[in-house]
Chains A and B, each alone.
Chain A
């Protein structure tokens, strides 16, 4: 039974981290289409960092650093150059996908897998200590948004940037920090993934960033509700793995659950009313 519980949490961990990044970015008004790229960059950085230094924690730091670097590109393009957020997001996902494979070939002469990453070894029930951090990501983000000055400002710039400006807040500064933080959080999720699977392989995130984004929307941009959505989506996946071969429901249908729920949420009024008002709009 606890076996099942930990399997569930291990599947949920990358979602929880990436979704925390998604909530932070979107609440500040920047669309988080790049979560997929952040996750992949995080996994890549963690694997290479851990292999190079033989230290799993240095790997985690490298993963966070790599993802944050991608986030910095996103922030520079959308905030400094006012590039369209959706197009930039799609391009960065493509960039990370290509660049990780390119470097993999340069460093390990393989276009599929890194060498085995020992990481945290067996790492306990959650695979690695990073898993516990992942479980804390969204509650911590809730605290940040609700209880700190930075959180208040994030909520203000995502909702009414002009009002924030007249109150003397630099909208661009808050958004820069939120996007970088979003990259760092998702990077942590990517690091968990690489250390949990003991390797980096190309495209290993396999759409997890988009599931995390779906969880953000299904959770109506609220950290705790988003955590619930991540756990729900992970539960569906866990059951599907457990029931493989025995159940009447084909795996393709359980894969659809997050996306179908998200479309339903968007099609009903609840999904629209909750979105940050300034989401996706360039600051004028």
Chain B
């Protein structure tokens, strides 16, 4: 098979690159309003993220969660659906992992305990995904609104469970899990000491590979992509729309749930209210900038994690919220330039009717 021709690459890569350029300019302006030098601030940002082991560990930690929620959104989008509930699926996954880790006896062998906890996290996320999936398949309910509502419902439910029943006195978190914890990067190399980076990053890499495999190498993924691009053609090809929607949202929920492992099994070893704040919504941005491709999602997750950690690094010079603004600018620039770029590419390459 030969390589796809140039314009398809342009269509995929141009929007994120344009977006980054715009974000840099906006960032410069914001930095200047604080009377700082853009060159110095960007320098500090890079130094504080990729310039030392601690920063790198933090970036990897944040990128791990974002990879999972980004993959979740990407899988749903490949089926033509918006999953805005990655936020609560992430929390549910963390909760599931913590419950599993608490249920196990102390000293349970990791080879059994870790897969058990991972499975619990994915199952919890998948259950949250099954709700919009089932309502879409059976009643045609708009998944955007259902997933938005579901975020509030699930988070309130989890908060109630922790606040009323499971919390350690005077805290918002559960007891520490007895088994299923994952090693921290600092356990491997002392330079990472203090950073939250942990072995879940390997789980995220595995999730990228598995998602790529599932989407592009299995008949189920083939059917899912057909439904996303052309429901009428998929139906003609013998694919059930309702069943595919359901499966896509369950799969999506499981991926987001997996992200909860990062905090619960890898970092703190307990579930805490609000641990994933915003990572689910940012997953939409990650999927968008990664153009819904698993590898692209991984790269975009690193980018957004760098911005987020970089915000902390430069906080003394400019407010870290500058990075929130830049993240939003990147999303807006990508989403607004995709149709435009598609039009330009279409004009550049005359298509036969």
Contacts and interface: CB of A to CB of B under 8 A. Distances in A.
Interface string A242-280: 000000001011011011101100111101100100000
B204 interface: no
Contacts of A46: none
Interface string B308-345: 00000000000101111101110110011111100000
A83 interface: yes
B34 interface: yes
A241 interface: no
Interface stretch (B145-153, B209-217, B249-257): B145-153
A94 B328 CA distance: 6
B339 A217 contact: no
Interface stretch (B155-163, B170-178, B225-233, B237-245): B155-163
Contacts of A256: 152-153, 156-157
A90 B84 CA distance: 9
Contacts of A82: 339
A113 interface: no
B33 A106 contact: yes
Interface stretch (A7-15, A60-68, A97-105, A116-124): A97-105
A73 B26 CA distance: 15
Contacts, number: 140
A92 B324 CA distance: 11
A77 interface: yes
A81 B152 contact: no
Contacts of B325: 95, 98-99, 102
A129 to B, nearest CB: 31
Contacts of A88: 332, 335-336
Instruction: Decide if the interface of chain A is mainly helix, strand, loop or mixed.
Output: helix
Contacts of B145: 213-214, 217, 262, 266
A91 B338 CA distance: 15
Nearest to A263: B149
A86 interface: yes
Contacts of B164: 250
A86 B156 contact: no
Given A81-B337, A87-B335, A111 B152 contact: no
A49 to B, nearest CB: 19
A39 interface: no
A111 B30 CA distance: 16
A269 B138 CA distance: 11
Interface of A: 31, 33, 73, 77, 81-84, 86-88, 90-95, 97-99, 101-102, 105-106, 111, 207, 210, 213-214, 217, 250, 252-253, 255-256, 258-260, 262-263, 266-269, 271-272, 275, 282
> Lowest 9 A-B CB distances belong to which pairs?
A98-B324, A95-B328, A259-B149, A252-B160, A91-B331, A81-B336, A101-B321, A98-B325, A266-B141
12 contacts: A81-B339, A83-B335, A87-B335, A98-B327, A98-B328, A101-B319, A111-B319, A253-B160, A258-B149, A259-B150, A271-B141, A272-B142
Given A81-B337, A106-B34, 9 more contacts: A73-B332, A83-B338, A94-B327, A98-B323, A101-B319, A252-B156, A252-B159, A252-B160, A269-B139
